[in-house]
Structure 1
Amino acid sequence: MASEYVLGIDLGTTYSCVAVVEAGNARVLEQKGGYRTLPSVVAFNPDGSSMIGHIAKRQAVTNAENTIYAAKRLIGRVFEAPEVARASQLVPYKIVQGPNRDPRVRVFGKNHPIQEISALILRQIKAIAEEALHCRLDKAVITVPAYFSDGQRQATRDAGEIAGLDVLRIINEPTAASLAFGYNKRLNKKIAVYDLGGGTFDISVLDISTDTFEVLSTAGNTFLGGEDFDIRILEFIIKSFQTEHGFDLKEDKMALQRLKDASEAAKCQLSGSLETEINLPFITTIAGESKHLKYSLHRAELEKLTEDLVDQSIKICQSALDMAALKISDIDDVLLVGGMTRMPLVQQRVQEFFGRIPAKNVHPDEAVAVGAALMGASLVEEEAAILLLDVTPLSLGVRTAGGYTSIIVPKNSTIPTSANHVFTTVTDNQQSVKIQVVQGEAKLASENQPLGEFTLTDIPEAAAGVPQIEVTFSIDSNGILEVSAKDLHSQREQSIVVSAASYLSDEEMHSLSSQNESQALQDDLLTGLKPVK
């Protein structure tokens, strides 16, 4: 029998974190060794077994092609997406197309869905929590970037299900951080949450009124984060080495992984010092001669290499303020969330833009998990104290004649919400219309994400342009979208509940879930933790 604890999980690009609420207070759960975050890294062995977290990260240099990191940047995307093509050029593991146009990672001749990779991380997080609390756990609130599409959210939910979790809610990372900041403090202020993590960037503007948290706007870039800063250092060092030795280190995958790890370490060190040294002896062999890499990197160099990335985030901040119809002076507090906000240049630019020193009372690595835990506790308590009013991150609409998108629910609409629009037919005596629901900002429907479709039939015959078809979108507080179409003359109506299509078949979901359950039982034998039926 599972406990009533609800796990608050920040499933991050580079690191993940888990928290729970006990006696009204949220706390982050530690792993063996005192670690409070888990590397979001999965490595595979030739026999199909896997390593997760710190042990996987430590062996990445010698097993680069079979060590998967930054999977969050791929989850819920289509293989043709430019972000997938870009990722394929930057990682040592192989990304291939799955049967449903989804990207998968190929390891030892087997193609693994991205949801499976995330599920392995979630299963490890679940095991950490169960060991810390000495009970079986199965409920969770998982956070995602505010700018994730419905497809990315559904894929994250699928990963939770595969990991044996009952995902009560998917909430936005900046929103979760705001809960950690303002819950039970009876605040009345407008805040901006600047969230720059390992792989994604979000900015959300919220109005906090006691324990009501209303998101006024959200904006972001799901492919802007610490990984991009690491890559700038890596590419700079590779170019310098090639100039000196005439050899491209990208050709040596082990050398590339060593340099990637060193680039990340150098970036972190330069947040606390003005200079650091990248020293990698025996980095590669050229014409039978071992070569060493040694380079002193200054903070000023790093800032020059990456200032355009920081500037991108500041432009997005302005966009979020514009969508909320607020001035900078309307913001009472600014929160910095995500490990990249430790970078002095980031702190400086944020302070310059908002004209105030960011608040220091939330932990950049832990605030999101803490907020998710608070949200989870409120969902199972009889007297829920939190009222969360979130927004739709992307526009929702239908495909119309000519292949264009007609937006019905604009992005940043507060949910729950309902909106409708009246359409008509395009040919004489047309007796049916197909309603194709899409999500995104592109004018062409084919460039947006399809969410579902249905057909309204038995429309009375009439000349083109005469029938009136009212299409209504209704979104509840859980983000579940219902779309209906009604012929206003005959009152005939058809509707569907729309959710993003999973990239996994029912058979795959069942198979992966069964594999997880089998592995969980093996873990129980190793840990001595026995589930109570």
Structure 2
Amino acid sequence: MAKYSIDLQAGKVKEDEAVNSVGEIIVGIDLGTTNSLVARVKDGRAVAVAGEDGKQVLVPSIVHFRPDGSVVVGEAAKPYLTTAPERTIYSVKRLLGKSFGDLSDVKDQFGYRIIDEDEDRLVKIAVPGSDGRQRYYSPVELSARILQALKARVEAEIGSPVSRAVITVPAYFNDAQRQATRDAGKLAGLDVLRIVNEPTASSLAYGIGLTEEDEGRTIAVYDLGGGTFDVSILRIEQGIFEVLATNGDTFLGGDDFDQAIVSYWQENYGLPLSTTQERGEIRLLAERAKKALSQEQTFTAEFRGTSVSLTRAEANDRFAPLIERTLSSCVRALADAKLEKGDIDHVIMVGGSTRVPLVKEQVSAFFEKEVNDTLDPDQVVALGAAIQADVLAGNQQDVLLLDITPLSLGIETVGGLMDPIIPRNSKVPTKVGRKYTTSVDGQVRLKVAVYQGERDMVADNRKLGEFILNDIPPMPAGIPQIEIHFYLDADGILRVKATEHRSGTEQSVTIKSQYGISEEEMALMLIDSLNHAEEDMRARSLAEAKTEANNVLLSARKFIRQNESWLSGEQVQEIGRFVDALAASVAGDDKDAINERMAELNTYTTPLAHEALDRNVAAAMRGRDVN
């Protein structure tokens, strides 16, 4: 029987009490798709932290793996995008918390290799090593590399360790993406006190939401970055930012503005763009033109012996359809929020691409009011995160601090893993639900055990209670739909309910607040989770790989039984060889070897699976019973 357990945190604690036990500095981090940056409050003012040159605050969100295994992050990794794209990972934020099925339509747009033939499981990135073997990395591990670079940057400036942070995410990020961001922070050695929505952080950067005068305000945050666009409508009530609606386009941003300029030059000058280097050079020149035309009316330069020029009016003509697409998203967001343009009190501009003058003009005209764009649009999210961090540090006494959960609450999943349902520092009262399924055919009972803690393996956390969900209808693994709900009230009383939707059967348990622990024990658990983050990630990655491999083995053996009537002896033997190799790797402790054997088995069996489907469809059309 597959074993699942739920860990809940009971007990009520003030935010300042929860965070002051670990470290002294809390920073704000904008983990971006294109660029990332870190900020802190210095002398009462939020400032972005620059690198060694004292000027550049943006860190390109790029990770390059050299053949010798060493890692380069940020600006130093950019040249490898064209010289070694298979080992240079960019836009990793788009992969966080995503399954292979989520990315199947866009996986070929990346220069690196995304692995996972199981559409429901989280993606992995394959990076070739100098020994010819593939190394497999999760988006969490790659994001942690970027966070480590930001952590090192701020530590170099202040001259002391940093262990606590607030990290921002898009408002549309789901629970899996938010948890992946938390995991990346922990792996980077950071206690992530809060995951903050980017539009909320932007509002805080402009000082909106920090005083009682802002109660009842409605805000539109227009965020146009390098590769993505989103608009969010927020409402401030009782010190809480509620996201009323969000809309956007994950493949629309400054890069498309650059491409519009490139297309204009191609049409008017017939430029040679047949090689990767030429295409890279013209994109950089187009970016220069875009930035120059934000200040000037005309841009002129030379490209490989050809003089090219562009006026602001010509650029605007090409930009207008792109901006119109963003305004269509604004229309949809307002409709979803059931608001009119006149209901918006503030319009905040975020993202470097909002520097384009036509963007500001069109957005202002759309909302029929002046927009807030006095802060650097590249920095505004990180500055807001730093302000939130300062609030959590207790340095802004006039700001309301709500009660929170001091430690994560979650359930045990296959492999002894801790799956947090209510993350640490979530505001209470709160209700969170998540769906699960069975991993064994015919399973009729499910054990739900409740744990408390920050470690990846439940063996390292604290068990609070458990119950059994009985009378699950016997079905194939993966078919039952079991929803686990955590209800945590303001008095620290936790109720956990499990429901199987097809049958309606349900069971619950109530855990009272006396299960809480002392502040000293909490601090020790937090420090322990940071000290063992890398070890925990290795254990989690290995456990997940073994669980996935065991599922693949069951599927492969079932496939042979169901299709032996038409499979050739050679095909059965070959599948058996791959199955044996995978089973042998599962017996070991090499995560990369397990993933490599799975990839080999999937590569061989995928064409056979397609043939089996075709045969089944043909048989069904002939009116025969397939099985």
TM-score, normalised by the number of residues in structure 1? 0.68
- CA distance, structure 2, for counterparts of residue 490 and residue 85 of structure 1: 35
Q: Deviations over 1:480-520 (max 9, x none)?
A: 99653399x999614799xxxxxx87443899xxxxxxxxx
Indicate the residue corresponding to 2:280 in structure 1. Answer: 257
| 1:229 has 2:249 as partner | no
The residue correspondences of 1:312-461 to structure 2 (distance < 5 A) are 312-381=325-394, 385-386=399-400, 456-458=469-471
Indicate the residue corresponding to 2:293 in structure 1. Answer: 270
- Given that 2:472 and 2:505 are in contact with CA atoms closer than 8 Å, whether structure 1 keeps it comes out as no
- CA distance, structure 2, for counterparts of residue 123 and residue 133 of structure 1: 15
After TM superposition, give the deviation of residue 167 of structure 1 in Å. 1.4
Structure in which a larger fraction of residues adopt helix: 2
Please give the secondary structure, in 1, of the residue aligned with 2:162.
coil
After TM superposition, give the deviation of residue 455 of structure 1 in Å. 8.5
- Given that 2:97 and 2:122 are in contact with CA atoms closer than 8 Å, whether structure 1 keeps it comes out as no
| 1:124 has 2:149 as partner | yes
Indicate the residue corresponding to 1:104 in structure 2. Answer: 125
| 1:493 has 2:514 as partner | no
Residue 16 to residue 418, structure 1, CA distance change in 2 (3 Å): closer
Please give the secondary structure, in 1, of the residue aligned with 2:100.
coil
After TM superposition, give the deviation of residue 470 of structure 1 in Å. 11
- CA distance, structure 2, for counterparts of residue 483 and residue 305 of structure 1: 54
After TM superposition, give the deviation of residue 361 of structure 1 in Å. 3.5
| 1:217 has 2:245 as partner | yes
Over the aligned positions, Cα root-mean-square deviation in angstroms equals 4.2
After TM superposition, give the deviation of residue 356 of structure 1 in Å. 0.9
Please give the secondary structure, in 2, of the residue aligned with 1:272.
coil
- Given that 1:5 and 1:21 are in contact with CA atoms closer than 8 Å, whether structure 2 keeps it comes out as no
Residue 348 to residue 496, structure 1, CA distance change in 2 (3 Å): farther
Unaligned runs of 5+ in 1: 282-291, 390-413, 421-429, 436-453, 461-468, 498-503, 512-533
Indicate the residue corresponding to 1:17 in structure 2. Answer: 37
Indicate the residue corresponding to 2:67 in structure 1. Answer: 46
Indicate the residue corresponding to 2:25 in structure 1. Answer: 5
Please give the secondary structure, in 2, of the residue aligned with 1:187.
helix
- CA distance, structure 2, for counterparts of residue 78 and residue 481 of structure 1: 30
User: What one-letter code is carried by the residue in structure 2 that aligns with 1:317?
Assistant: C
User: What one-letter code is carried by the residue in structure 1 that aligns with 2:113?
Assistant: I
- CA distance, structure 2, for counterparts of residue 274 and residue 313 of structure 1: 24
Indicate the residue corresponding to 1:37 in structure 2. Answer: 58
Q: Deviations over 1:219-255 (max 9, x none)?
A: 33333322333344445556777x565xx62xx3333
* Counterpart selection for 1:484 from 464, 477, 498: 498
- CA distance, structure 2, for counterparts of residue 328 and residue 367 of structure 1: 23
Please give the secondary structure, in 2, of the residue aligned with 1:80.
helix
- CA distance, structure 2, for counterparts of residue 355 and residue 433 of structure 1: 56
Q: Deviations over 1:439-483 (max 9, x none)?
A: xxxxxxxxxxxxxxx9942489xxxxxxxx998675889xx9965
Identity of aligned pairs, percent?
A: 39
Please give the secondary structure, in 2, of the residue aligned with 1:81.
helix
* Counterpart selection for 1:308 from 297, 321, 331: 321
TM-score, normalised by the number of residues in structure 2? 0.58
Residue 331 to residue 86, structure 1, CA distance change in 2 (3 Å): same
Residue 63 to residue 330, structure 1, CA distance change in 2 (3 Å): same
Q: Deviations over 1:268-320 (max 9, x none)?
A: 22322233345443xxxxxxxxxx56532343443343433322221221222
| 1:171 has 2:196 as partner | yes
- Given that 2:471 and 2:505 are in contact with CA atoms closer than 8 Å, whether structure 1 keeps it comes out as no
- Larger mean CA deviation between 221-230 and 135-144 belongs to 221-230
After TM superposition, give the deviation of residue 161 of structure 1 in Å. 2.0
Indicate the residue corresponding to 2:98 in structure 1. Answer: 77
User: What one-letter code is carried by the residue in structure 1 that aligns with 2:541?
Assistant: E
Higher-Rg member (1/2): 2
The residue correspondences of 1:501-512 to structure 2 (distance < 5 A) are 506-508=539-541
- CA distance, structure 1, for counterparts of residue 388 and residue 125 of structure 2: 32
Number of corresponding residues:
425
After TM superposition, give the deviation of residue 162 of structure 1 in Å. 2.0
After TM superposition, give the deviation of residue 334 of structure 1 in Å. 0.8
Larger RCO (alpha carbons 8 Å, 6+ apart): 2
Please give the secondary structure, in 2, of the residue aligned with 1:364.
coil
- CA distance, structure 1, for counterparts of residue 256 and residue 177 of structure 2: 20
Indicate the residue corresponding to 2:570 in structure 1. Answer: none
